[in-house]
Structure 1
Amino acid sequence: MMLPRGYGSITKRDKTYKRCYWARGASVYYIDEETGELKEKRKSLGFFSTRKEALHALEKYHRERNLLSRDDATFAEIYERWWQEKFPTVRESTVYTYEHAFDLCGALHKRLISELRLSDLQEIIDKSNKNYPTLKTMKILMIQVFNYAVKYDLVLKNYATYVDIGRYKNKNPNKMERDKFSHEQVKSLWNTVECKYDYISLMLLYTGVRISELLNLEKVNVHLYEQYFFVKESKTDNGIRKVPIHDKILPFFEEWYNSSPEDYKYLLYDKEFTKLTYIEYVRKYYKPLMTKLDITLTPHCCRHTCISMMSEKGVDPTYIKLIVGHSGAMSLTERVYIHIDIQDLVLAINKI
């Protein structure tokens, strides 16, 4: 069966190959910017065991390609298409990282990807005033988006691979701003919270727990009368600990605890009384709240902020390590000879 002109081709290789059918897109001709010569490029879609499989690959290629016009595809549209494929393969904690990087590339969103050049991408990096790890994530995102565009012949070259972030490697222009909320931002947060999903940010700020620790917290491990909860699942063994509940956020814990059915397992839940996931929390609640306050900080920054606030208020370093689960950093004397009651930790956290 002959394929339509411009559709691509299926070539059969020698039968000694297990996958002998080679599917390729149609030829694309372009002018090499360096040599000025006319060149041909064909997209290889892979090798397949049967002609039917190769034909399906060609059909998928054209189906995806036709979703976006080569002439009017924007950076944001390509990102959305790429993200639909990428999303199922990434960890929950990576989701916010990618979405935050995309937000930082806001000036590119409505630009036609076919018109973007290295200078446009480099300008986003140079004007971002972000630290090196964030710049690295932004560059990775740009590369991924352009790779997707190259894959479907929407652009011929991935300019993002040439973006220079090396000059910023030893510079953190806003390290403190990245790591923690300012006093003004914390105050704004208190003045803005309206529902129990907003409370979660303050619960993170005033306990120093990792977001995963709070999302996995079971009601059976919440002791409201004694004013603490027990973290039984953590990133590290040292993270298994008792965490005091600050007086200011005790009502938030009480509301969450008492507002779910008795047989529901977790402290936090979504509106259908199922476990609240990281992705759902960040997308539906955390990110909109931070956008309203014009704050570009991740949930993990709440943990840094809590540590900073305790340090500023003169909380004993040993207490800080116990509260946030850094007991591995404790000295031998601290680990062996010092035993601290949970009520002492409550008094310590109440200093902030």
Structure 2
Amino acid sequence: MRRANGTGSVVKLSGNRRKPFAVRITTGWTEKGYPIYEILDYVETREKGLQILDEYNRNPYDVNLHNATLGELHETWKKSPQYERLSTSLKKSLRTGYNYCTSIADKKYKDLRVDDMQGCINDCPKGAATQRSIKNLFNHLDKYAYSHQIILHMYSALLQTDKAQMSRKKPFTDEEIQLIKNNIDIPWMDTVLLMLYGGWRIGELFEMLTANVDLEAQTITGGIKTEAGKDRIVPIHPLVFPLIEKRVKEGNQYLFVHKGRLNYDKYRIIWKKLMGKLNIKHTPHECRHTFRTRLDNANANQVCIDLLMGHTSKSIGQRVYTHKTMQQLKNTILLLD
């Protein structure tokens, strides 16, 4: 049965091919009146080709994007509004995940199946965190591809990663915190104290704008990662205030800079040197863990702790910083001696 004009066609190609049928649509005409074809796909049977044409005619899509490889789709997605809305730390995590997917980068995204995606996770020599980055990447790409009618099934929902080992984060001891105080003149030691007495994430330090430091109110506005964590207001502990004031007077756009913008790679080197000089072993995230532990030990108000750390709490509801709230947060910070 002949198809209606303008709805495309399925033609059999010559030779011995695994997918001998070309599914095509007409996108224009030459000066001599010959049709210009755009190939939607190559398939094994005419029936499958007709199904693809029917789907296309019901919901026309960008042909080039529809046939994009994993690598091409990844690059297109990185230019999308969805990608721009992601936090800097999440973008970094997803870039890391993509580095372990390059073996299938040239494969059409619509042809990827669970085994292809799971293979990237299984072949990853890193731990559970990196495997989660890979899974998270495919989750974002699946959503993007599904919204552009490139795929019909989001296989990323079926991916499995190794279970993360039980957390072994250990808080700083009182003796270690005193040691840090005694060595505050060492460059960059102020960042350690700010995290210990403010509960900031390491990635949030890199994003802190000098303009968001209110010296009069003695607060810092910042945060990343979640809606509860973004744009939260944290009082500056009196012990840390002179150090922050000094940073503000440097007049940089960002509060912490080191040969340009501070980032994970630069700070990793700084942190290693700081811990070496103190002869202690900790990770930057253990500062935040210590902040939470010390407030819990001081019987601090749970809602105040959640507000300070940027956690979601059923007791918080809509986050509104009233004068009373700010005073409660300052009183909570002052529980840390």
TM-score (norm 1): 0.47
- Structure that is richer in helix per residue: 1
TM-score (norm 2): 0.49
Larger relative contact order (CA 8 Å, sep ≥ 6): 1
